[in-house]
Structure 1
């Protein structure tokens, strides 16, 4: 049974916008917040699926949950359950299809602002 099938069977389905529902202004709004931008950057630089607890963010747990919700509802990330963990991943390919170069440019700008650049 796949992760998606297990989540659906347990009643732990997480709603995500379909590709045609993702709007540029929602994506930009989601990535405009420094904490959410940091989450996106860490997802891009980390593993494909990362648990919410893997992020060391300077906000409370409830605020962290809110930031992940905004990113998910904007279509920036996709989340699913694996046991009791909620895992997140960037919707890089989907966002690239909708807005070519946008996510890469935003993430590169964030890296430069943070003083780190992706290895060439």
Structure 2
């Protein structure tokens, strides 16, 4: 089995290959409010964002954990560009495996925010 999960150098981060991404891992990653916020911000920007672009009400170590869960589940791809760790949605991979899932989750999250904010 071919796998992209093995890092090739100290700066490369492990990611699952498209065929290794599992629905239950993606749903688990998207079930946390902080991780969903990260995904919503990435989707809204439409481009890669640095970890420092996100302002989350949690500690740095918790933020790191959330990014790791998203990466290991196959929701995002993280790459180093210089000293910055850049994050991008794996939209093409997710749409190929689970057509419409990411769009529906993002739509539902937007409706929920509108419903919960007075």
What band does the TM-score fall into relative to the shorter chain? 0.7 to 0.9
**Number of residues paired by the alignment?**
109
Deviation at 1:11, TM superposition (A): 3.3
Partner SS for 1:106:
helix
User: Deviations along 1:32-84, whole A, 9 cap, x unmatched?
Assistant: 00000000000000141100110111101100000000000000000000111
Structure 1: tracts of 5 or more residues without a match: 1-7
CA–CA distance in structure 2, aligned partners of residues 9 and 91 of structure 1: 20
Map 1:21-100 onto structure 2 (within 5 A).
Answer: 21-100=20-99
TM (normalized to structure 2)? 0.87
TM (normalized to structure 1)? 0.86
**With CA pairs under 8 Å and 6+ residues apart, which has the higher RCO, 1 or 2?**
1
Structure 2: tracts of 5 or more residues without a match: 1-6
Give the superposed CA RMSD. 1.7
